[in-house]
Structures are given as structure tokens and as C-alpha cells.
Structure 1
Amino acid sequence: MAACGGAPAPEPADLLLTNARVYTVEPARPWAQAVAIRDGRIVAVGDDAELASLRGDNTQVVDLGGRLLLPAFGDAHAHPQFGGISHSRCPLHDGRTLEDYQTLVAACVEASPGDGVVYGVGWEDALFPPNGVPRKEVLDAVSTTRPLIFESVGGHSLWVNSKALEVAGITRDTPDPANGHIDRDPATGEPVGGLQEAAMALAEKLVPPPTAAEREAAIVYTARHFNSLGITSWHDAGIPFGADGASETLDAYRAVRESGRLTARVAVAMTWKNEQGLEQLPDLVRASERAEAMGLVSRSVKFYVDGVIPQKTAYMLEPYAHGGGERGKPHIAAEALEQAAVRLDAQGFQLHAHAIGDGGVREALDAFAAARKANGAAGGRHMISHLNVVDPADQPRFAQLDVAAQFQPLWASHYPYMDLTEQAIGPQRSTYLYPANSILKAGARLAYGADWPVASANPLEGLQVAVTRTNAEDPDSGPLLPDEAVTLEQAVRAYTIDVAYVNRMDDAIGSIAVGKQADLVVLDRNIFEIPTDRIGTTKVLLTLFEGRPVHGDLEMP
């Protein structure tokens, strides 16, 4: 069959999404009305009339009724295995008070009779003012006969009871390990129940490791949860590896992917072992090659440069406001980080740094600058995550060094953890908290990630805070540094094409353009037309992954 003028008729689409408000995230044509999909890819974007010729006898046509259609969201920083397991092994995420935690822990103790360890994740540092250090007495009230070990929602602290301290052999005479400390009573020196950073390993050895089935179930849980939020891609921000590139996490990804349950695109970063040096490179490279061979995006390395602010393990340029001159310590020496950065950048690896304090941020930027000087613009798509405090002198360096600023937008508001942060660093440095707009205006790229399960993975909640800098649960608290808010268009970009960029997926996803995969999301309202303080209440009606529904149904209500 031929069209007018003898030209062959276009091949019909498999799926035609019509009567929509399509925000493409493509500067040349940011808005459209319809999208045509064939074999999981976008074959046309335009008006309903422009795409009418792609309707065939077998084309499924879905009238979106004027609803907003976006490229699916991405997440530039998540911990899928940790997050999934944290929701299966005695989760404390729903607790809001210490009494809630005791009730949840008691239920877990009752549900698993015996004398073994009870382990869980999800307590909030802010419930232990003034410094986020938990107390063993709260857990001792539940049980003094079984080891109780609970990881903070951020993963930087353990909360343990007296029995866990006893079984682990932790006493007043136990020395603090490098890059960690045992929280102690200042008068007696006795452990009080908190273990920070590397000291967590003293008790973690008591916790049974997850089974292969648990690891796989955690990834499947994450995929389904993220799909329900409109997310079809993530960056796994640091997985362990062993000799010859062995990795139980990669084994779990392979099993989930081969069984067809991995409904997302995944980039993985290998966790740099701060206790080692360049001798780990061969095993790291091998692990990365294994990941690439199974269809994941790899060649990324995660460096933990420092810790967190309330417990004063984040590295600051100047001493904390109250702490006798302490300013934290870097978890990796500047010289070692620079050496690793130069070598890895030269081999095409992405450098991904966890840096929370302004000192940690500067150390990371200095290392990236050394790599740039040694290797030129190698195109590694480097990024620094968290950026709780960034000194004004360092804010323009992200653009100068072509380093992406990877923020958790939900953190940039007033809430109890922020109160601990501001108390720890004082008023002047509190004006440098999460300077998203300043870094963006200097010409750098933003990429958003939730650090899930530390915070909600919901991009719509993140978008609301990014543009308002206000806690949706406590709007009366007002905005945190409102001049650091970004526009909604900028925030959407930081959740879509710029996540795809840092994940090295921007050739395939991140915007609605011909040739890209049909990873798309339909919302129940147009976030560009509602008050900004209502964006977070928006619901995802439909998530498409390669043109097929992984959340919701093509039959629009």
C-alpha cells in the first residue's frame, strides 16, 4: 500500500498515546500531544494529527485524556539491596518515637523465638538528640538476653543493646577502629549503645548475612517499588566485591535479570575499599567487567570520603560549633584518593564520591581536579553525592571540573535531622546547606537521587521540595534557604535526562525523543499547572518500561 505521491505508508505503531500533555525534556520541542511506540522504542512525537498515519489495524490507541506524560524518572543514588532487606528484616521505618521502636522490636523478638540476634534497619538519628547517638537502655527495656542490633536509616550507625555489646566483646577497653568510634559515656568510658562508621563492624559480625534468595527478593522489591513511583532506572551507589571480581550482589542481579524480574535499567558502582590501595584495582576491574557482561552499566567507583554531620564523622574545613575543636576526619587520605582518582579516570571509570562535610567536598573536588590535570577531559561523568555543606569557594568548581552535583532534594528542608545538623555546624555554615541553585547557576549539572531507603524514593515528593525547599509534613517551618530552590523544569531535568547522563544511559532514556526507549510515566495531574506545594500529592497512574506497563494499566480510568 502506498501513500500519496507514491511514498510507502509508514509502518504502524504498536502503541499510540494520544490526547496528552507531553513534556519531552527536549529543548527543541518541549511540549507535544502524542507519542508513537514500536518494538519498545519511540518512533514519533508530535500532535495527534501528525501521528494519525501511524495508526494501523493492530495499533493499540490509548487516549490519555489530557493527562501529563513525562519520560520515566531515574534515581542517581539508591541502595536497592540494603533497602529491600531493610523492609524485610524487622524494619523500624514506620516508627516515630522511641516507644514505637520498642513496640516494633518487641514484635520481632516475639516472632523469632530463641536466643539469636534480632537485626533491623530504619531508626532516625534525630530521635536521639543532641548528636544522634542512640542509647542501649531503650533496647535493654525490650530484651537483655538476646543481642539486638539495629542500623540507622542512613546506614552510618548501629544501635545495640547491652547483650550485643557483651557478645561482641565491646567494653570500655575496646579501642576505636580507624574511621569509626564507639560512643561512650564521657564520665565512665563505658559504651552507651552507639557504634559509628567503621566501628559498626564490631557488632555486624554477629548478624547473619543475607541469603541469595533474600538478596534477589530485595532487588525485586526495589524494582516494583520504584516502578510504582515512575522510576525505571537507578544507580546502585556502591556494591562490595571480592577476589577476582566476585560479588554476591552481582550474582543476585544476574538471577533477577535472567528471570525477567528486573524491570529497570541499572548502573552499579563498585565500593572502593579505603583500607586498601591500588592493589584492589584488578579485582575491581574484573567486577565491573562482570557487571557489564550481564547487561548492567558499570565502570563506576564509589568513594566514601567522610561520614555524617550530627555524629561529627563528616569532614569539615573548620571545627564543629560545639566539640572542642574537632572537625571530623576524611575516611580516605587525600593523597590516596587523588592517586586512585587519576588511575581510575585514565581507565574510563566514573568517580563517585560520598561527601557530606565541606571538607569532604573539597577533598573530592581536589582529587577530581588532579585527575583532570593528569588525563584531560576524559569524559568520566564524575559526580559527588549528598553535598550537605559546600563552601562558597567550591560551588563554582563543579562546573569548572564538569562534575555533577548529586543532591537528595528531600533533605533540603527543615526537619529534625536538619536541626541536629544546624546545631553541629553553627549559623554561618548553615547558609551553605544544599546549595543546588548556586551550583546550577554556576553552570554545573544537577542529578537527583533519594539515597533510598534513607529517604523516600518518590520523585514527586522530591520535586516539591526542590522547588519550595519546604518540608511538606511541616509547612509552617518555612523554606530552608529559599534562594537555593530551582525551577520545576530544572528539577524535572535533574530527575530525568541528567540522571540518565550520570548513569550513562542518556542515549537510550531520559527524554521523549525518536529512537529512545519508551520508558514513560503518566501522572494523574499536570504538575506544571498546580500549586507547587501540591506536587508531592500527585500519583503515578502508569509506568512504561520499554513500552510495556510495569505499574498501572493502559486502560486509563
Structure 2
Amino acid sequence: MKYLIVALALFAGSAEARPIPKADTVFLHGYVYTVDARDSVAQALALREGKIIYIGDDAGTKRLIGKKTQVIHLKGRMVMPGLIDGHMHPQSGGLRMLNCNLNYEALTIPQFQARIQTCVDADTEAGPESWLVVINWFEQNMQPAGTVLTHVALEGVKTARPIMVHSSFGHSNLVNARAMALAGITRDTPDPKDGRIVRDADGQPTGLLEEAAQDLVDKLVPPPSVEKNYRATHLALEAMREQGITSFLDAYTDIETMTAYRTVAAEGGLTARAHFAVLIDSPADYDADKAIAEVLRQKAEFEQKDDGVKPVMKVDTAKLFLDGVYSAPAFSAVMVEPYFEHGRPGQNYGPKPYFSQTQLDDTLIKLAAAGLNPHMHADGDGSVRQGLDAIAAMRKVHPGEDIRPAIAHDEIIDPADYKRYAEVGALPVLSFQWGKPSVDIAASKEALGPLRYALIEPTGLLELYGARIVYGSDWPVDRLDEWLALQVAVTRTAVGEDAVKYPGRLGIDPGLTIAQAIRAITINAAYSLRQDKVTGSLEPGKFADLIVLDRNLLEIKPEAISGTQVLLTMVGGKVVYQAKE
């Protein structure tokens, strides 16, 4: 591919009248993948004051190199825009590094109990009233396959403490009898709106709490201290810059999280452009005006003004949950057609939608008037359709507003709705790593039925129908591994031991090319955050948010993408991570 030469007026008038300003940093002898409108490739780039001032060949940098210019010889390595994660939960990821961690592993009940017992025994300062919070429980991968836990498993842990175990998917908790007693959960406790207390055949609660029922116990657990939140923010930012993430959306934030990030930012430790989505919940007495007023109040308190190329905090998004998850055992995603039972369509369409269509339409219209982007969780095709309908209603009232509505996850979509994303300007925010054969998908195959199973995770199909696809890791629902996700986007296959257990491609979806996958995690994600004018591609005038890789993603086999290592991460021209080698 021919090198791109970008002409830039470096000074007004003749060269004799004014000296050429020199670059702060110049990268030479590289493969500079710009992700511009033509996916152009260059050999070199130059930076000054945190912005890109030149992209082209090595020869064009000579007049920009001065005595103080740092010259980096790439030796053919790939440079690309920094990664932009359009949907994650970084504070939860940081906090989970500080808690009792089951690490997403497949466990038998004795192993599950032993891991939690180790945490209990290690915490010698905790008293019987101290809550033990356990995280990253891969509920769908308990062994042997099909094992469903109840509180009885937790009664085998030798402690008087109340225990709460978080499923890694984030849509269910398992609690012990002590925790249920403290929460007042009995056979007579009604299911809360948008939630379910799982019960046995005799009507007794099993200890498994799904969706909004988690709040019955969550509200009793003391929130993390200011110091713990501060530590979690630093851990999250460290994990992100090692992955090459230079911008992100925290897709469900809280005041404690934004307070911690504000403290870190004031100390100069914010190493990524931080966007935050404030939750709009759907209680029985839902009032859209009050909910949006609270989002705007938090925006006024925490949003920071742009400060040149320096990363700042933006509170520009509202988060709305439209349903839960399609996967077993919850089946809490809203469906157009019912889940299958005994090989045929049954009677279960999933839960009642969390918002009525009128409520959702009204909320999105008012969010647009307030200049806020709606970001909707929708896992099933019924909730996806509801979100698309609400966006269409919003566009009719605000056709000219720069609102960039997102529907996150989109795991099951009715084919009739594929083309609607482009028609109404809806952004599907997808977690590519889910688009492979896995234990949770296999466990849900029968309930989905043959058609939905064949079309599950329709990444490539949405691309074919013109949707602007955005990537979001949903970390810590999974381990933070952006490069595995990019590989799966292309191959649709599992890796490592999972590839042996679950061979072959997932479904009939064609997947993405690596170029399409890269755009989803760079310029498309920048667009979703309304910062595509300054990030997401490497072009003169844009911020110098970039990464250097140990391999060329466009020249290696797709199966090698997941092994990618980030050698350097730069945000606004400042190096925020550099590999040891």
C-alpha cells in the first residue's frame, strides 16, 4: 500500500520569513494505520503540543526534527489510534481486584466452597457482622454442567458472616441464609419490580436473586470506602493503559466513582478520556423529568471543561436497562417470540419490559432536548425493538439534534430490525468476545430455538446492513482483553481449552474483517462519545492518542490477534504506558 503523504501548512509566508516549528516527538520507520476515511497507511508521524502535525513518509519529517525532538524508531512496528472502549464498568473492575475473587473459573461445589473458605480464613480482622463479597463467579460454568447453586452451597463455608456472591454477568447474586435473614427475605417476600427471588418447589427462596432482586441485599452491604474507591480507580486506569485504552465510557456510574476519578484527575493521574453514564432507573413511580434532572445535576457537579489535549471527565450519557440476559438459568431478556420449552415455542417471553414504550419514548425525547446520549441495555430482540422504536420517536421530535443513541449488547435481534439501526442512527455497542461458542451459549441453545441460535451475536450481519458498530468490553463481566475480542470478531471461534470444548464457528454470522473490527474500537467508538473530531483516527490536528503494537494486525493470521502486546500507550502526546522490553 502506498504511503499517505499529508501536506500541512506549518507556517504562514515564506520559509525565509519564519522558521518551521519543530516537533516534540517523531515516529519513523513504522506501519502507521490511520483509520481515516480511506484506512490509509503511512510510514511516519510527528507530534507537537499533544497533537498530530504530520503523517507521511520518513523524508517528510526531516524539517520537523530539532535538537529537542524525541525520535522513536519503530523498526516496522504498527502504530494505530488508541483503543476506545464504548461500554465498560472500570470502577467495578478495579474494586473486584480488591475483593475475594473466583476469577471466572469453572468450579465444582467443593472447589467453590474451598475458594470462599480461603478468603474467610485470610480475613482475620473481620467479625461476624462483616459482609463477605465474592466476585467473578461464572455461574453458567459450574461443574458438572447444569449445576445450579443454592444457599446450601454457602452454608458449607465455615463462617457466621453474611455472604454475597456476584455472578460475573452482573445480573444475579447468590447469598447465604444469614444474608437472607438480614434482608428479611422469606417465602412471603414478593418479587420486586424487574426482579426475581428464585424459589424452590416448596416456595422457599433458594438464595439466588436475579436482576432488581439483588437490591434487597446490595443495599445492606456497606459501600467501599473513599480510600478503596481511590485505589480501585488507579487499578482500573492501570489495566486500561496496559491494554491500550485511551478513552472509555463507564456505562453505569455512581457518585462515589466520579468522586474518585475527580480526585485522581486533580492529581494529574487521569490517563484516559473518561466518559460517565448516569443510571435512569424504572421504579413504579417513574418520573422522566425528575430522573433527567438528576443526570443533569451530576453532570453539573462532575463534568470538567476541556483543557487542551489533557484528558478530562465528561458526564454526557444516561444509562437505561430495558431487560436482563437471555442466558440460562435467568432467561430475563425480553423476546419477540417465546423461549422454547421441550423443543417447541413455550409461553415465556421473558420479563415485562422495564419501561413501557410510552415511558421510553418520552424519556429519549427529553434526553435529546437536554443534549444527553441515551445508552440502553437490551439483550433480547423484544427489548432491542423497543429501543429502536424509542429512537425513531426521538428522531421525529429532534431530527437535527446531535444525539448519538446506543443500544448495548444486542445479542438477539429479529432480522427485520437489522436495517433499522442505520435508518434511525442507532449505535449497536457489541462485546465481540461473546461471539464464539461457549458454555453459556451452549446452555441456552435449546431455550433459544434453532433460528435465534443460528443468528446469535449478529455482528457481521449488522455490518452488512449498514450499522455503525461500536465495541464495548463490558469489563468486568469478562476479563479485560481487547485483543481477544478483536480476534473473535473476525474468527467467531473460541481459543485455547475452550476451542477444544466448543469447536467451530458460532452461528451463521460472517463476522467482521480486522479493519472493520478496528474501526469499531477506534473511530466508531469515538463517534459514540462525540469525540470523533479529535480522536479515533490518526490525522493532522487530532489529539495524539495512539498505541504501538508488537505485531501488524493486518498482516498476521487472525488466530494470532489475541496475542497482541501493547508496547506503548500515548494520550495527548504523553506516554502513559510503556512495556518493560
TM normalised by structure 2 equals 0.90
Residue equivalent to 2:339: 320
Instruction: Output the CA distance in 2 between the equivalents of 1:56 and 1:100.
Output: 61
Instruction: Output the CA distance in 2 between the equivalents of 1:539 and 1:419.
Output: 31
Return 61-70 or 285-294, whichever deviates more: 285-294
Instruction: Output the CA distance in 1 between the equivalents of 2:534 and 2:238.
Output: 21
Instruction: Output the CA distance in 2 between the equivalents of 1:484 and 1:455.
Output: 23
Specify which of 481, 488, 501 is matched with residue 527 of structure 2: 501
Residue equivalent to 2:6: none
Instruction: Output the CA distance in 2 between the equivalents of 1:131 and 1:280.
Output: 40
CA RMSD of aligned residues (A): 2.0
Deviation at 1:28, TM superposition (A): 4.3
Specify which of 170, 178, 194 is matched with residue 208 of structure 2: 194
Aligned 8 A contact 1:144 1:163 in 2: no
Residue equivalent to 2:158: 143
Specify which of 88, 107, 131 is matched with residue 98 of structure 2: 88
Aligned 8 A contact 2:333 2:380 in 1: yes
Aligned 8 A contact 1:133 1:183 in 2: no
Instruction: Output the CA distance in 1 between the equivalents of 2:348 and 2:336.
Output: 10
Specify which of 99, 103, 117 is matched with residue 114 of structure 2: 103
Specify which of 397, 403, 409 is matched with residue 386 of structure 1: 409
Residue equivalent to 2:308: none
Instruction: Output the CA distance in 1 between the equivalents of 2:562 and 2:133.
Output: 32
SS of equivalent to 1:517: coil
Structural mapping, 1:7-406, within 5 Å: 8-28=18-38, 30-93=40-103, 95-98=105-108, 99-113=110-124, 114-115=127-128, 116-128=130-142, 133-143=148-158, 145-185=160-200, 187-240=201-254, 247-275=255-283, 276-278=286-288, 279-293=290-304, 295-309=312-326, 310=328, 311-322=330-341, 325-328=347-350, 329-406=352-429
SS of equivalent to 2:101: coil
Deviation at 1:124, TM superposition (A): 1.0
Instruction: Output the CA distance in 2 between the equivalents of 1:485 and 1:132.
Output: 32
Deviation at 1:65, TM superposition (A): 0.7
Specify every segment of 5 or more residues in structure 1 that has no aligned partner in the other structure, as ranges.
241-246
Aligned 8 A contact 2:33 2:40 in 1: yes
SS of equivalent to 1:297: strand
Aligned 8 A contact 1:133 1:194 in 2: no
Residue 239 to residue 29, structure 1, CA distance change in 2 (3 Å): closer
Instruction: Output the CA distance in 1 between the equivalents of 2:92 and 2:241.
Output: 18
Q: How many residues align?
A: 547
Residue equivalent to 2:518: 492
Query: Structure 2 counterpart of 1:283, which letter?
Result: E
Residue equivalent to 1:515: 541
Specify every segment of 5 or more residues in structure 2 that has no aligned partner in the other structure, as ranges.
1-10, 306-311
Aligned 8 A contact 1:468 1:482 in 2: no
Aligned 8 A contact 2:368 2:398 in 1: yes
Instruction: Output the CA distance in 2 between the equivalents of 1:526 and 1:100.
Output: 41
TM normalised by structure 1 equals 0.94
Deviation at 1:319, TM superposition (A): 1.3
Specify which of 427, 435, 445 is matched with residue 450 of structure 2: 427
Instruction: Output the CA distance in 2 between the equivalents of 1:58 and 1:228.
Output: 27
Deviation at 1:132, TM superposition (A): 8.2
Deviations for 1:87-118, whole angstroms, at most 9, x for unmatched residues? Answer: 21112225331344323211211122321211
Instruction: Output the CA distance in 1 between the equivalents of 2:480 and 2:20.
Output: 40
Instruction: Output the CA distance in 2 between the equivalents of 1:264 and 1:22.
Output: 21
